[in-house]
Structure 1
Amino acid sequence: MSSLPSDSNPAGGAPAALIHRRKAIAAAVLVGLAAMCALAGYELVRSSSNTLFRTAYGKQRLAWIMAVTPAGVALMLYAYGRLLTWLGPRRTLLATTLGSAAIIAACYAALRASWRPAAAVLFVVREAYIVLLIEQYWSFLNSTLGSDWARKLNGPVCGVASLGAIAGASLVALLATRTGTAALLLIGAASTIPAAVLAHLAYRRCGEPAPERPARRTGALALPLFRQHRVLVLLLAIITLTQALSTCLDLSFQSRLHDAFASPDQQTSWSGAFFAWLNACAAFMQFIVAPLALKLLPLPFVHLAIPLLNLAMCLWALLQPSLRSAAAAFLAFKSLDYSLFRAAKELLYIPLPFDARYRAKEVIDVFAYRFGKGATSTAIAILHAAGRGLSDAALMGVAAASAAIWGALAWPASRLPRAAITCVMAGAAPAPAPPSSCSSANPSAGDRR
């Protein structure tokens, strides 16, 4: 990502720096608000879909549905890629946003008609649609903000988005026992409509980014770069491990929640309150902890401390098993994942070439993210089918082992060349990259790969 252009005073216009400042802030505000609406709706869909699936198929089938999630993500990514070729990024974002709302509403109607498979479809769709929307928001910001503005605004954008997640989870806790779990799906679907409007306004304000060069040099996904940059391989392994850890913590939490409350609506209400606290912790870490930690502590220390903290929480939940200890371990992982880990991980991409940051990164942070979760779920489901299902204690043990291996990989992954780390932490621009889209965006251009 390029740094902002130097000041200039175009004839008859404001200084270029002022123009870019306005566009950068407008992009961050509009995208942050769009993400806030999308995540508010997602919280309503997430807690509801968990309960609806457990009610339809039982808690034992959770691992199976998680196992097929990567296939659903791959299918939606393929559809997204085709839409991107046909429509360009602006209209593709609009289509995927409104299309997601329509699918969620259709699942609600199917569940009201007692069509049980809709609970499984909803579970898979909820895992895929939010990834597509959020990654499209970040693709727009990455193409619009210069490097200086990205360092200033990316954290607050995450924080503003978390406010929507907090509001959505709070609504779940408030409304689940009053309206019923299924009715929350309609509210979640409706929340994506303002997200579509705000994202459209962001594109109108800053223009529609166009591809800077053909994708043929390294391929659409830049897979050859994994052979050239060892850090990408390490990040791929780390993301897979984090999702193994997340899956085990999630299954343990969902199992203990199911056992603690007999009423599905009570389960949904407790889950909504939990995710509200989770997102509040994440917002605090996004606005306060992450900026201070990345400013005051060496980057390798931050990367090592995160898995070690997760390891400590898993060991505590293993030694003191309960719903609260399982929830605390899950909360610690998710709040760190949403804030400090994301911020620290992104710093590892900055010194890398453009295609590593924009193509190889997608392989790691979208597909590998879901694949790690799905592969772990598949393994657990196979063991369960063979009559060797993992107990809550065994799940927590696997989670602890995943955190330990993550810690072993985090140190070498974060040991970038000293000059690159100094460049990133000091706020210097990375290697030359194409100009900011605020200065060169083509409102009518789309991705024609």
Structure 2
Amino acid sequence: MNPRRSPRNEGATLALSIIAFFFVMTSYYVLRPLRDQLVGAVGSASLPWFYAVVLVVMLALTPVFGWLVARFPRKRMVGTSYLAFVVCLVAFVPAFVAQDRIGAKTLGIVFFVWVSVFNLFVVSLFWSVMADIYRSRQARLAFPFIAFGGMGGALVGPLITRLLVERLGVPAMLVISAIALLAALAALLAMSSQPGEEGAASEAPVGGSILEGAKSAFAQPFLRYMTLLMLLSDGIGTLAYALVADYAKVHFLDNAVRTAFYANLDLWVNGMGAVLQLTLTPLILRGLGAVWAMVVPTLVNFILLGALAYFGPVDFGVFGYTMPLIALVMVGSRGITYGMTKPASDSLYTRMPREARYKGKNFIETAVWRFGDLLVTTSLTAARSAGVGIATIGLVCAGLAAVATEVARRAATSPDLLPEQLED
């Protein structure tokens, strides 16, 4: 939001931002249980292959993203990217109609890769636009509420899938997801039309080399810390995801039951994130700053992984439900990441130059993320093959979470972050 905008325009911009992210996350979370149940059908042993394909695709598409950012205004870039994903969603409809002829495994690999690309590019592009529109002071106030709007979509999405998939079928879910993404695009385009002092600058192409994202991730201190933090913290979430896939493969043989299991996990994760974004995260960001909002989630991960190392693979009763401890670790780790880490880290990106906001951030949240996924799942497969138990794996990862705590602190206090008073 811009100081020269009227209060009415500032309110409209914030409202459109919340609406846009609500529909972005609704679109994604309509699809996610469909993807995850395919992973649960094959178990974690196939995940290294899945992530290897995703990483190759990321490395191929990241320069394309950089090329688009360098040459096209924001409105055209957002419109082109989102419309391309809408077309892809509709194109998947006949594939799912012919699912039995294509084969679940073949379709599962393709769909897993595509949904991962959808998540990383659509969501990452949204937050890059937000970092371009909002200045750092406004971002600390607005981002938790924008993220909370996204959590609303993340709760509605799996509910829609759970309630309608048996009545309408899987192909219809793709159409519903496409409609939600079109609604998000409409809100983003309306927001780009809001008058403000920085309209011309923020709509201009970013320019620069298509390799700037990769260069920045290694050259600038803040982006180096964020790269390392991505490998450490999100690697913990990937570990839990892989172990839950093994659990689902053994305990849920029916596709519908397995889909419902993953939808329930999404509801728990997103419910926790929504509560945090509505209550604790805004208080921490306003009162203590981004440093604590970055550090607290790594401390929570340390505690959760310490519990896994101590108790091992046991089941716990939670509010009348019996869940494996590894599922609770996944819910806790992802819930606090979405509810606290994400708003805090995105507010820090507003204190970086525009090219770093788009290209460096996108490189970290695409190529680096998926390289970490591949590294973690390959290491997990090797460890399980060598007879290493879950308790030992939890102990090692607890140590990594302790390292992540220091990395998070350094990222939030990095010397190359622009001072907040320099609202460039």
TM tier, smaller: 0.7 to 0.9
The 1:32/1:411 distance shift into structure 2, 3 A limit, reads: closer
Partner of 1:326: 326
Q: For 1:299 and 1:314, how far apart are their aligned partners in 2?
A: 24
Contact 1:283 1:339 in 2 (8 A): yes
The amino acid across from 1:410 in the alignment is A
The 1:86/1:292 distance shift into structure 2, 3 A limit, reads: closer
Deviation for aligned residue 1:200: 2.4
Deviation larger for 344-353 or 312-321: 344-353
Contact 2:31 2:173 in 1 (8 A): yes
The 1:374/1:250 distance shift into structure 2, 3 A limit, reads: same
Confirm whether residue 71 of structure 1 aligns to residue 69 of structure 2: no
Confirm whether residue 158 of structure 1 aligns to residue 144 of structure 2: no
Contact 2:238 2:373 in 1 (8 A): yes
Q: Which runs of 5+ in 2 are unaligned?
A: 316-322
Of 34, 46, 50 in structure 2, the residue corresponding to residue 61 of structure 1 is 46
Task: State the number of aligned residues.
Answer: 407
Q: For 1:254 and 1:333, how far apart are their aligned partners in 2?
A: 16
Deviation for aligned residue 1:391: 5.4
Contact 1:111 1:119 in 2 (8 A): no
Of 116, 134, 139 in structure 2, the residue corresponding to residue 145 of structure 1 is 134
Question: What secondary structure does 1:223 align onto?
Answer: helix
Contact 2:237 2:333 in 1 (8 A): yes
Of 111, 118, 123 in structure 1, the residue corresponding to residue 96 of structure 2 is 111
Of 203, 209, 213 in structure 2, the residue corresponding to residue 221 of structure 1 is 213
Deviation larger for 235-244 or 112-121: 112-121
Partner of 1:403: 401
Of 25, 32, 36 in structure 2, the residue corresponding to residue 50 of structure 1 is 36
Confirm whether residue 170 of structure 1 aligns to residue 155 of structure 2: no
Partner of 1:198: 187
Confirm whether residue 36 of structure 1 aligns to residue 22 of structure 2: yes
Q: Which runs of 5+ in 1 are unaligned?
A: 6-15, 434-449
Partner of 2:318: none
Deviation for aligned residue 1:373: 1.7
Cα-to-partner distance string for 1:371-409 (whole Å, 9 max, x where unaligned): 22233234445667xx54865555544543432321243
The amino acid across from 2:179 in the alignment is A
What does 1:23-422 correspond to in 2, within 5 Å?
23-55=9-41, 57=42, 59-84=44-69, 88-113=73-98, 114-116=101-103, 117-181=106-170, 183-206=172-195, 209-211=202-204, 214-215=207-208, 220-221=212-213, 223=215, 226-227=218-219, 229-297=220-288, 300-318=291-309, 319-321=311-313, 322=315, 323-346=323-346, 348-349=348-349, 351-353=351-353, 355-381=355-381, 387-388=385-386, 392-393=390-391, 395-416=393-414
Contact 1:72 1:125 in 2 (8 A): no
Instruction: Give the TM-score taking structure 2 as reference length.
Output: 0.83
Contact 2:17 2:191 in 1 (8 A): yes
The amino acid across from 1:111 in the alignment is F
The amino acid across from 2:361 in the alignment is K
Deviation for aligned residue 1:365: 3.5
Cα-to-partner distance string for 1:400-443 (whole Å, 9 max, x where unaligned): 343232124334444456x989x6xxxx42x352xxxxxxxxxx
Partner of 1:445: none
Q: For 2:396 and 2:175, how far apart are their aligned partners in 1?
A: 37
**% identical aligned pairs:** 20
The 1:311/1:376 distance shift into structure 2, 3 A limit, reads: same
Deviation for aligned residue 1:100: 1.5
The 1:112/1:307 distance shift into structure 2, 3 A limit, reads: same
The 1:104/1:288 distance shift into structure 2, 3 A limit, reads: same
Deviation for aligned residue 1:279: 1.0
The 1:396/1:106 distance shift into structure 2, 3 A limit, reads: farther
Contact 1:64 1:381 in 2 (8 A): no
Structure ID, larger Rg: 1
The amino acid across from 1:186 in the alignment is V
The 1:143/1:271 distance shift into structure 2, 3 A limit, reads: same
The 1:293/1:73 distance shift into structure 2, 3 A limit, reads: same
Cα-to-partner distance string for 1:43-101 (whole Å, 9 max, x where unaligned): 1211101223544x555313321232222223333343444566543233223222223
The amino acid across from 2:188 in the alignment is A
The 1:391/1:98 distance shift into structure 2, 3 A limit, reads: farther
Partner of 2:320: none
Aligned alpha-carbon RMSD (Å): 3.2
Deviation for aligned residue 1:165: 0.8
Cα-to-partner distance string for 1:343-386 (whole Å, 9 max, x where unaligned): 333454455555544543333334322322233234445667xx
Q: For 2:23 and 2:144, how far apart are their aligned partners in 1?
A: 17
The amino acid across from 1:98 in the alignment is L
Q: For 1:382 and 1:79, how far apart are their aligned partners in 2?
A: 34
Q: For 1:351 and 1:201, how far apart are their aligned partners in 2?
A: 25
Q: For 1:351 and 1:86, how far apart are their aligned partners in 2?
A: 23
Q: For 2:394 and 2:92, how far apart are their aligned partners in 1?
A: 33
The 1:54/1:17 distance shift into structure 2, 3 A limit, reads: closer
The amino acid across from 2:215 in the alignment is L
Q: For 1:79 and 1:403, how far apart are their aligned partners in 2?
A: 33
